[in-house]
Structure formats: C-alpha cells, structure tokens
Amino acid sequence: MIDAKALVDEIRQGLQPVNEQLLRHPYVQALEEGKIGREKLRLFAGEQYAIIGSDLRNAAHLVSRFGSSPSRDFFLGILQGERAAWDALLTFAHALGLSEAQLREHEPLPGAHAYTCYMAWLALYASDAEIAAAYLVNFPAWGQNCGRLSRILQERFGLGDKEVAFFDLFASPPATFEANALSVIQQGIDRGTDPRLIRRAARLLQAYELMYWNTLHRSSSS
C-alpha cells in the first residue's frame, strides 16, 4: 500500500522547480525593492477579494460534500481559515483606501483567477484525498510568500499588524495542518483513490499558483 507521506514527498520533489520559482518570484522582489508602488497593491487586494470569496464557497461546498466522512474536520478547518482571511483582507484593503464596494467592482484577471477556478473544479469533482494533497503541496509556498509580504508591507509601506493580518494568517498555518492533510490522503489511498489523480491535482494547483503571481507581476509592472 502506498504511504501518503512518501507520495507527498515525491510530489514535492517533482514540483521543486516550480516552488523555487514561487519563492524567488519577481513580484515579491519588486515590492521589496520599491519598484511596485502602493497604488498597485490595490490590484492584489482586488484579485484576492475575488479569490477568497470563491474559496469560501468552495470550502463550504467541501464541508457539505464530505460532512459525513472522516475528512469533514479537515475541511471545516479550511473553511474557518478562509473566513478569517476574508475579514483580514477587508482590513488590508481599507488600509489601501478601498471600500468593499470598490472591491466588488474589480474585474479579475484571467491568469490570476485561474487558481480559484481550478479549486472550484476540485471542490465539485475531486476526491477528498486529491483536494487535501493539492492544499498541502500548495500552501507552504503561498505561506512563505505571504510572510515576506507581511514584512515588506510593514517596513516599506508602513502598515500595522492588523493591516497585514491577512498575510500573517497564511504565513503561520495550524501546527496540525500537515498531519491532518496526510490523514485524509492516506484514507483516500486506502479506499482506492488513484495516486496519479492526487499527483495531478497538486501539480495543476501549483501551476495555477505560479500563473497567479506571473499575472500579478505583469499587470503591476505595466
């Protein structure tokens, strides 16, 4: 029987080139070097408003889909995290002078919105093991970038702790997150979930994550 941790380690190793691109992304570097101004941060807030709004619905659907299965608590944790991120995002946006009405008017960029569109597909059609693996492989790179952005926004843009709480939430995931995700993946494998599909879900979500940052960088640098 395939071991979930060994499978995830294999996936992470195969995706290392993508992870390196994420962790050395020129968008974060440009912010750090002052090449992207405060006004352009509004684009980040607008895109995240569309993404978190969609991801909240995705997480709620997952709780509904898997509400009677052992993976329910894992997805409840995801839902609670997305709910906290929603509130924190509004605080960040307000610090940039954006109202929620203005955020609603933002038109998402296709390349930046692809991540959450695929996440919606996973929520509708994928097994809990595929989804847990996609989250588990994706969150560390996103979290590390959020940690860097929190520091940059405080040091270069003068934002306070509450105003960067959105980024800090993702930079410090619950200590039990990985163990809980691995448990869901292992249970799926034991039920017969195809490891090929687990690999695919993680690979595609990570590719869409990179597409998000690439799109954001192009649009913020123009």
Give domain limits for the chain: 4-221
Residue 111's contacts (CB-CB under 8 Å, 6 or more residues apart) are: 211, 212, 214, 215
Topology of domain 4-221 in CATH is: Heme Oxygenase; Chain A (1.20.910)
pLDDT at 173: 86
Query: How does pLDDT run along the chain (222 residues), one tens digit per residue?
Result: 899 999 999 999 999 999 999 999 999 999 999 999 999 999 999 999 999 999 999 999 999 999 999 999 999 999 999 999 999 999 999 999 999 999 999 999 999 999 999 999 999 999 999 999 999 999 999 999 999 999 999 999 999 999 999 999 999 888 999 999 999 999 999 999 999 999 999 999 999 999 999 999 999 986
pTM strictly above 0.85: yes
* C-alpha span between 202 and 135 (Å, rounded): 7
